[in-house]
Amino acid sequence: MVMVKPSEITPEHHYLSRREFLKGMGIVSASAMVLAACRGQSVTSTAMPSAVKVPSTITSTPKELNEPLTSFEAITNYNNYYEFSINKEAVARLAKDFPTSPWKIDVGGLVNNPKTFDLDDLAKFSQQERIYRLRCVEAWSMVIPWVGFPLAELLKEVEPTSKAKYARFETIYDPNQMPGQKMVGYQWPYIEGLRLDEAMHDLTMLATGLYGQTLLPQSGAPVRLVVPWKYGFKSIKAIVKIDLVEEMPTSLWMAAAPNEYGFYANVNPEVSHPRWSQASERRIGETSRQKTLMFNGYEEEVAHLYSDMDLSRNY
């Protein structure tokens, strides 16, 4: 396993605007081709056997950033995943053999049509590529070409009732496979939550892949949440359960350190975390720091969700 220190990551290829690229190349996933080119592999050899198979034709990119992508090597070797290790550069090795198939997600609670989704069911949702910034509360960030589908599409199938106000997400609990779950000081399994309108927002996705290939265990395989306008800890990995509930869920981080982590956790350069200023961030693989953007750059899309909140307070 090659361990990549952030300082050792070579400057990235500059990512062509996806639209420009597709104009020249046809409909093959642009990032899969960039990846293949970088690693000297053919696109077709990258599919993993035991998870949602990412199709080689990906149809849309609603959010185009025109920023260089973080390298595949950095995205998959610098991970926060406390179930395996608190050492970001050890996660990939420790998670390597984590079994991600078979898998199922139970979706229930305040819904008319509770349902269990296996990997084949997840693969039936039309998979799209979306390039998003990921901003960790520790003040580093990446640009990641995810593959997945809007969470809203799955939630529509279970039909939340009018009583449902929040979605509560749960990671698998398997301390034999996940040594970090024996760590004291945390209430395992990892829990996260979203308000229902946040969960239904088109930017909120369930990711099954990145860079045109199936997710690796360290990235949250086989399926993880991605909420790009919130700090990274909201984007819970290896989900086995989603419940629609009436009360605001208590996340693992809220329970562990209520003075440090709120429920909303919207990226906000004006509000410092007790241990980290949020004004700027280190883009992994780049040398200079850059200014953090309100809502991580998604203000236009999401600010209306919070029009009645005082954004100078730490939520």
Ligand X SMILES: Nc1nc2c(c(=O)[nH]1)N[C@H]1C(S)=C(S)[C@@H](COP(=O)(O)O)O[C@H]1N2
Residues near Mo ion, by CB under 5 A = 80, 136, 232-233
AA identity, residue 8 = E
Give the whole-angstrom CA distance, residue 194 versus residue 32: 31
169 binds, among Mo ion, ligand X, none (CB under 5 to 8 A by kind): none
CB of 191 to ligand X, least distance (A): 9
- Which of 237, 241, 243, 292 contacts ligand X by CB under 6 A? 237
| Minimal distance, residue 158 CB to Mo ion, in Å | 28
Q: Tokens representing 305?
A: 């969700």
DSSP for 269-313, written as a single string: TTS--SSS--SEEEETT-SSEEEPPGGGGTHHHHGGGGTTS-TTS
82 binds, among Mo ion, ligand X, none (CB under 5 to 8 A by kind): ligand X
Residue 264 backbone zone (phi > 0: left; psi -120 to 50: alpha; other: beta)? alpha
Spatial distance between the Cα atoms of 103 and 214, rounded to a whole number of angstroms: 14
Q: Which does 235 bind (CB under 5 to 8 A by kind): ligand X, Mo ion, none?
A: ligand X
Applying CB under 6 A, among 103, 188, 190, 229 the residue interacting with ligand X is 190
What type of residue sits at position 244? L
* 233 belongs to the binding site for ligand X (CB under 6 A): yes
Query: Does residue 219 belong to the site contacting ligand X (CB under 6 A)?
Result: yes
Name which of 162 and 176 has its Cβ closer to ligand X.
Answer: 176
Q: What is the contact surface with ligand X in residues (CB under 6 A)? A: 79-83, 134, 136, 171, 190, 219-220, 232-233, 235-238
